Structure 1
């Protein structure tokens, strides 16, 4: 599984691909130099239950740590992951 980050003006995307096929996408809004808001997660049906959403979230968390950015998880999936996973709460706003 390959996870890529892409940013365009005030939006960012964590994109999961496997064998050149899109497995999922998590989007975030860039709300300033030190804040992003995760607003949407989607995983292609054939990749459900394979941890794709979690991998995309971890890629965004890694970027947030590198840039000293905090995250507000508005997306229900991301919000539930932040409640469950203690190892990513350091970037939570």
Structure 2
């Protein structure tokens, strides 16, 4: 009565596409900030905010993934408990 493990894995092509898209976006944003007609401190501020945005995005993605995995583990534990109760239940036994 257990359900098969259906964990979707990303293909290598999707991983490569995501990495390339991230690299292009990061380099384009950095180049745009560097070539803006601004003072050095203004460029520095924009570069620091861009780096903070990237690091907080990675942190958010990790937290969302961890919560999803924890919920999946709890769901599997609940399923195992239910299967154990159903296996141990004898409807013809006198109470």
TM-score normalised by the chain length of structure 2: 0.29
TM-score normalised by the chain length of structure 1: 0.29
Higher share in helix? 2
Higher share in strand? 1
The higher relative CO (CA closer than 8 Å, separation ≥ 6) is in 2
Structure with max Cα Rg: 2
